[in-house]
Amino acid sequence: MKVYYDIPNLNEPTSIVIGNFDGVHEAHDQLISMGQIAAKEGELKLLILSLYPHPSKVIPYESKLLSTHQQQVELLRKYNPSYIVFMPFSRELQNIEPQNFFDNILIRKLNAKNISVGYNYTFGKNRLGTVEKLRVMCQTTPQTVNLSVLERVQINPETFVLSGGAGGGYGADGADGADGDAECISVSSTHIRQALMAGNLSLANAMLGRYYTLAGKIVHGDGIGSKSLYPTINLDCENELLPNDGIYAGYATVFRSIEPTIMDDGADGADVAGGADVAGVADVADGADGAGTRTDNHASTYRCAIYIGKRPSIPRTSHHGAPATLDQRVEAYLLNFSGDIHGRYVILHLAKHIRNDIKFPSFEQLKVQITKDISAVQETLSSLPHPSP
């Protein structure tokens, strides 16, 4: 697999899948699957086409991303594409004429023979390029270019049943429409963000098709956890979007390396080995030991209790003696684990929300509640699967 941060000139014919792919959720999965089928049937190279940086970093608008760039590449890598191309997003690219984008980028440079997009895909200056215009371009170009369009993918927020998409009906990445089921919502990055911020982790995970993850290095904390008999790891979190404050049952994938990397920053056309140790969900063994731990050559995955919040029960003062501003923390207590893993890279998989964060009258009462939380986490995880490799 090669990853580009420019637009390469490719000689081999390609099946191109286009999207932002923030979070790489269930609708993205169906879209990429369409591209995979077209690639296999037409003997084409699968190419995933996206943007870097994300448009929200160039065009100011409020949008916290679901995944870090490393997480995004690792999630896309699992589809085994021949190429991942991140077009450098700029005002110039934003204002390109749709026909110019089709002729010079998709056809001449990327050698597209199949193009897969979501039903509400737009491109080019003022978003004048629509699916229907793209269909006309594919039909009128001298080469034979097929267009595959994924219909809207929906989910019932109560039963988590998916509908539409490649199976027909309603469905893909975008806003709800009057033509859809009133009780269903579209599977989209926007709706996943809303679910996370509303405290509905179960719905967010159902739309993702996996556990929501937080990634970063393990850093030193204040040592308060060790005083409560439950020493925690403290995460220097790289993710922009944190769920609501509270206690979560989940898993921690701790990497052997200090900082797993996908490639050198800025490396155009970098080869990524299929088994590379990258910053994403760890490739874990099929079996788990009785302690709920999985291990492979690159990482170990442990059951854990995860805390997100500002620790309202912990008294804090600044060096002036005034109350200190409490920053949001991400901590995790790894079940059946002991050892020093400071500086290691870790992925936290949030499986289920246990309770909201509350302030306790005393530290002793907090310790009693922590013991209850650990028991609740153990019971919850006994019926939940490990993160998918």
pTM above 0.75, yes or no: yes
Between CA 203 and CA 160 the distance in angstroms is 7
Between CA 382 and CA 389 the distance in angstroms is 19
Considering only residues 221 and 135, tell me which one the structure prediction assigns the higher pLDDT. 135
pLDDT number for residue 338: 87
Q: Which amino acid is at 32?
A: I
Which has the closest alpha carbon to 168: 144, 143, 150? 150
Mean pLDDT of the chain: 84
What are 212's two structure tokens?
Answer: 């929501």
Report the CATH number that the domain containing residue 364 is assigned in CATH. 2.40.30.30
Between CA 91 and CA 88 the distance in angstroms is 10
Considering only residues 164 and 261, tell me which one the structure prediction assigns the higher pLDDT. 164
Considering only residues 275 and 189, tell me which one the structure prediction assigns the higher pLDDT. 189
Q: Residue 176: inside a domain, yes or no?
A: no
For 57-73, give the DSSP string.
Answer: GTTT-----SS-HHHHH
How do 299-309 and 294-295 pair as beta strands? antiparallel
Distances (CA, A) of 126 to 54, 102, 105, 189, 323: 17, 15, 18, 22, 49
Q: Residue 271: inside a domain, yes or no?
A: yes
What are 116's two structure tokens?
Answer: 């897969």
Q: Residue 183: inside a domain, yes or no?
A: no
The reply to whether 240 and 332 lie within a common domain is yes
Between CA 101 and CA 93 the distance in angstroms is 9
pLDDT number for residue 346: 95
pLDDT number for residue 81: 98
What are 258's two structure tokens?
Answer: 């200090």
The reply to whether 146 and 272 lie within a common domain is no
CA 307 to the chain's CA centroid:
20
In the chain, how many domains are there?
2
Which has the closest alpha carbon to 179: 138, 151, 200? 151
- Which helix (H) or strand (E) segment is 42 a member of? helix 26-42
Q: How many residues does the chain have?
A: 389
pLDDT band at 358 (very low <50, low <70, confident <90, very high): confident
Report pLDDT digits (tens) over 327-357.
889 999 999 998 889 999 999 999 999 999 9
Q: Which phi and psi angles does 166 have, rounded to 5°?
A: -65, -20
pLDDT number for residue 48: 98
Task: Choose one of 153, 187, 222: the last residue of a domain.
Answer: 153
Find the domain containing 318 and state its range: 212-381
- Which helix (H) or strand (E) segment is 115 a member of? strand 112-118
Task: Choose one of 122, 137, 153: the last residue of a domain.
Answer: 153
Rounded average pLDDT over 273-289: 33
Q: Residue 275: inside a domain, yes or no?
A: yes
Q: Count of CB atoms within 10 A of residue 306's CB?
A: 27
Contact 244, 199 (CB under 8 A): yes
Between CA 65 and CA 221 the distance in angstroms is 26
Between CA 197 and CA 186 the distance in angstroms is 17
Report the CATH number that the domain containing residue 100 is assigned in CATH. 3.40.50.620
What are 76's two structure tokens?
Answer: 């896309």
Between CA 228 and CA 214 the distance in angstroms is 24
Sheet holding 162-164, edge to edge: 162-164, 153-155, 185-186
Between CA 290 and CA 37 the distance in angstroms is 40
Q: Residue 180: inside a domain, yes or no?
A: no
What are 303's two structure tokens?
Answer: 């059951």
pLDDT number for residue 4: 98
pLDDT band at 259 (very low <50, low <70, confident <90, very high): low
Rounded average pLDDT over 79-107: 96
Between CA 167 and CA 37 the distance in angstroms is 14
Q: Provide the percentage of residues in the chain whose pLDDT is more than 90.
A: 67
Q: Is 363 helix (H, G, I), strand (E, B) or coil?
A: helix
Distances (CA, A) of 304 to 60, 292, 360: 37, 10, 22
Task: Choose one of 138, 153, 168: the last residue of a domain.
Answer: 153
pLDDT number for residue 270: 60
The residue whose two tokens read 């059951």 is: 303
What are 234's two structure tokens?
Answer: 């403290």
Residue 27 has pLDDT above 80, yes or no: yes
pLDDT band at 260 (very low <50, low <70, confident <90, very high): low
pLDDT band at 220 (very low <50, low <70, confident <90, very high): confident
pLDDT number for residue 169: 37
pLDDT band at 170 (very low <50, low <70, confident <90, very high): very low
Report pLDDT digits (tens) over 46-81.
999 999 998 888 887 768 999 999 999 999 999 999
Between CA 302 and CA 297 the distance in angstroms is 15
pLDDT number for residue 168: 46
Contact 165, 151 (CB under 8 A): yes
The reply to whether 129 and 9 lie within a common domain is yes
Q: Residue 341: inside a domain, yes or no?
A: yes
pLDDT number for residue 278: 31
Residue 145 has pLDDT above 90, yes or no: yes
Rounded average pLDDT over 283-287: 32
